[in-house]
């Protein structure tokens, strides 16, 4: 398996794509006026989709368990590890966890055992996302109020008003990296990466909570390199906006015509000798096939997939 980079675009409308764990407010960079989504949030989408779909034919119940599973309840990492891979003689528990858990292979794990029968171990993941991924467009976060009324006692209602902010519209540009050397050590397969892409794309589209609905996967570009040491610089800035309408976008159709792929096209064309394959996954309602203008020498390496 070869080194890869993933460039993923998804948008969010009238929701809170990634709330701060302490305040619940949408993560926001005031200096750049962009909304942020963390790597932890993206990995949680992937874990949740695979976890919720366990038992389906496309998943292997022996290899596609989720270590950090919401289904397991509130457990320490030590107790969760012992549940999946009990400590026994002649058993390499870390290897066992890798073999059984797809999120361990992809994203790594830290196990801190404290009780009898538990153990300590850790592993670096083969896939990492950028710590914070930003909206391409500048955004502001308006505030609004929400009321709730609870029955505190018989014939006695108690009300409360909460103030919160939300994102009117943002198109996020997210970056992921696959390290082939770590992938080999972790036993990552092509099937694992395919499941990761399926999970990220579909969980964003189907997340049905008050703060996470109205999101849509739009575009995923997977660049597979020939050279494990080559890297396109600043690929997260390779898609931009021309004539940006600051704070004015409210849906994808508003922003689509302003998207500028010229820098990405230049990066890809200048890197064609180092690229084995470019896989482009598109939402059929958002992009047409062959929308990227690439050199003839690279065109045969570019494959489009409509979702």
Which tens digits make up the pLDDT trace of 183-230?
Answer: 999 999 999 999 999 999 999 999 988 889 899 999 999 999 999 999
pLDDT-based confidence at residue 148 (cuts at 50, 70, 90) = low
Rounded-to-integer distance, Cα 304 and Cα 80, Å:
40
Cβ count within 10 A of residue 116:
7
Task: Please check whether residue 244 is in contact with residue 298, taking contact to mean a CB–CB distance below 8 angstroms.
Answer: no
Ranking 87-101, 137-151, 258-272, 280-294 by mean pLDDT, the lowest is 137-151
Token pair, residue 202, equals 């579909």
pLDDT of residue 83: 95
pLDDT of residue 144: 83
Residues in contact with 25: Cβ distance below 8 Å, sequence separation at least 6, in sequence order: 16, 19, 141, 164, 165
Residues in contact with 22: Cβ distance below 8 Å, sequence separation at least 6, in sequence order: none
| 177 pLDDT more than 90 | yes
Task: Please check whether residue 37 is in contact with residue 172, taking contact to mean a CB–CB distance below 8 angstroms.
Answer: yes
CA-angle at 211, arms to 153 and 58, nearest 5°: 115
- For 48, 207, 211, 246, 251, the CA distances from 215, given in Å and listed in that order, are 16, 8, 10, 20, 11
The β-bridge partners of 166 are none
Rounded-to-integer distance, Cα 251 and Cα 13, Å:
7
Could you tell me the pTM of the whole model? 0.93
Three-class DSSP category at 238: coil
Q: Which residue has the tokens 């997977």?
A: 222
The packing angle between helices 39-52 and 190-206, to 10°, is 100
- For 182, 241, 261, the CA distances from 238, given in Å and listed in that order, are 26, 10, 7
| 158 pLDDT more than 80 | no
Rounded-to-integer distance, Cα 51 and Cα 49, Å:
5
Exposed / middle / buried, residue 273 (Cβ in 10 Å: 0-12, 13-18, 19+):
exposed
Domains of the chain, residue spans: 4-51+127-139+167-306, 70-124
Average pLDDT, the chain: 94
Rounded-to-integer distance, Cα 224 and Cα 236, Å:
16
pLDDT of residue 147: 65
Indicate the pairing of strand 275-282 with strand 302-306. parallel
Q: What are residue 267's phi and psi, to 5 degrees?
A: -60, -45
pLDDT-based confidence at residue 262 (cuts at 50, 70, 90) = very high
Tell which wins on pLDDT, 141 or 21: 141
């Amino acid at each position: 398996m070869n080194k890869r980079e993933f460039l993923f675009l998804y948008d969010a409308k009238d929701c809170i794509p990634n709330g701060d764990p302490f305040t619940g407010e949408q993560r926001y960079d005031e200096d750049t006026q962009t909304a942020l989504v963390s790597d932890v949030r993206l990995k949680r989408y992937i874990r949740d989709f695979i976890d919720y779909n366990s038992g389906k034919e496309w998943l292997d119940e022996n290899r596609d368990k989720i270590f950090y599973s919401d289904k397991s309840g509130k457990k320490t990492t030590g107790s969760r590890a012992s549940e999946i891979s009990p400590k026994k003689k002649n058993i390499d528990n870390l290897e066992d966890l890798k073999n059984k858990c797809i999120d361990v292979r992809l994203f790594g794990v830290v196990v801190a055992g404290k009780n009898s029968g538990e153990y300590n171990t850790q592993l670096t993941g083969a896939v990492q996302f950028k710590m914070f991924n930003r909206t391409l467009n500048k955004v502001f976060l308006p505030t609004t109020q929400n009321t709730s009324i609870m029955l505190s006692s018989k014939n006695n209602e108690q009300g409360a008003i909460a103030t919160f902010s939300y994102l009117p519209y943002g198109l996020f540009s997210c970056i992921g990296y696959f390290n082939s050397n770590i992938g080999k050590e972790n036993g990552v397969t092509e099937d694992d990466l395919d499941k990761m892409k399926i999970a990220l794309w579909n969980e964003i589209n189907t997340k049905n909570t008050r703060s996470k609905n109205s999101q849509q996967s739009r575009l995923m570009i997977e660049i597979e390199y020939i050279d494990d040491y080559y890297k396109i610089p600043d690929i997260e800035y390779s898609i931009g906006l021309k004539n940006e309408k600051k704070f004015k976008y409210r849906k994808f159709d508003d922003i689509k015509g302003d998207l500028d792929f010229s820098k990405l096209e230049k990066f890809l064309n200048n890197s064609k000798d180092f690229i084995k394959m470019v896989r482009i996954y598109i939402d059929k309602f958002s992009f047409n096939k062959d929308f990227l203008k690439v050199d003839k020498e690279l065109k045969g390496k570019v494959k489009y997939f409509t979702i």
